[in-house]
A = this chain, B = another copy of it.
C-alpha cells in the first residue's frame, strides 16, 4: 500500500454583484498549464498552514481583500486524477460572497485579475474550474434561501431595494418589491434600521439598514413559490 503523494491547492470562488450582474474573480494564467486561459484564483497550501488560512492568504495576495469583508466558507474538494496535468493535485475550493468594493483588484501574484460576469465565462475556464464555479454559484443560491447572507453582497449600510437586487441577480428572478419588503423587515434579525435615508436613482428615499444578528432565516425566503397553485387555465395577465 504505497501512500500516493499529493499536492494540495486552494481555489477561490469569489462572487460579487457589479453592474447588476453576478461576477466572479478570475485570473489570467501567465504560465502553463492552461496558459492564457481564465482560472479561479488559488495556489498551493504551504507546509504550516490550515486550509482556511491558505485560502485567506490567497485572497489577500491575489485581490487585496479580507475574508471579513464578506462571507467565507469552504465549498468542496476536487481531486479527480488528471484534473491537473502537473500531477496529482487535490484542490479545496472556498466560496466568498463579497460586496462591490471600490478597489477590488490589486493583486500581486496574478498577471491579470478581473471581475467577470459569470454568464460570460461559463465553459471557458481552466482545469475543472467550470464545475467548481457552478457548484459555488449553486451554493450561493441556496444560501440566500436559508441564511441572511445576501447582506454579504452589500456594503455595511444598504436599502431593502439593494438587498432585493441581490436576490434578483443571484436567483435570476423578479421579486415583488412590496412582498419582499414585508418579508425582509419582518424576518427576525435579518436587518435592522441604520437610521438614514438615501435616494438611489429616482423616487422616494429609502431607509438604510444594517445586517442583523440572525444567522439563519425563519421562515426562509424561497426561490420557488411554496406551491404553483395548480391552476393555469389561461395565460392571461390582468393587463
Binding site for B on A (CB under 8 A): 1-8, 44-51, 74, 76-81, 88, 90, 92, 146, 218-220, 222, 224, 226-227
Contacts and interface: CB of A to CB of B under 8 A. Distances in A.
Which 4 interchain pairs have the tightest Cβ spacing?
Answer: A4-B47, A77-B77, A51-B79, A5-B5
Given A5-B6, A44-B1, A222 B219 contact: yes
A45 B77 contact: no
A32 to B, nearest CB: 15
Contact of A3 (B2, B7, B222, B227): B7
Contact of A92 (B2, B49, B77): B77
A46 B3 CA distance: 7
A3 B89 CA distance: 11
A76 B74 contact: yes
Contact of A81 (B2, B7, B49): B49
A13 to B, nearest CB: 15
A172 to B, nearest CB: 18
A119 to B, nearest CB: 24
A50 B78 CA distance: 8
A226 B183 CA distance: 13
Contact of A226 (B45, B81, B219): B219
A6 B8 contact: yes
Nearest to A47: B4
A136 to B, nearest CB: 14
Given A4-B8, A7-B3, A92 B74 contact: no
A49 B220 CA distance: 39
